[in-house]
């Protein structure tokens, strides 16, 4: 039960921190999160796969969020 409360508080603080972000910063963060999950799944939970996926996803999100 304590773990659930900690998780809820952490997520609340993280979401609150996103309120002042620019759209491109949000795109970068979303790309990093999606990339991290994808990297974790594709490598069977490898730390290197998760970090690598987050890095690649962040770059893709950043580039996709650029205005032409």
**Which position has the higher pLDDT, 3 or 66?**
66
Q: pTM for the full model? A: 0.73
Q: pLDDT tens across 41-58, in order? A: 999 989 999 999 999 999
Contact 58, 35 (CB under 8 A): yes
Contact 34, 26 (CB under 8 A): no
User: CA 20 → CA 16, 23, 29, 32, 55, distances in Å?
Assistant: 8, 10, 13, 18, 22
Beta strand spans in 1-68 (E): none
* Rounded Cα distance, 33 and 19, in Å: 17
Q: pLDDT tens across 13-33, in order? A: 877 777 888 989 989 988 998
């Amino acid at each position: 039960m304590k773990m659930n409360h900690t998780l809820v508080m952490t997520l609340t603080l993280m979401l609150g921190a996103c309120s002042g972000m620019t759209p491109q910063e949000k795109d970068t963060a979303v790309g990093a999160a999606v990339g991290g999950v994808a990297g974790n799944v594709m490598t069977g939970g490898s730390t290197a796969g998760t970090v690598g996926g987050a890095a690649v996803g962040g770059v893709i999100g950043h580039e996709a969020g650029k205005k032409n």
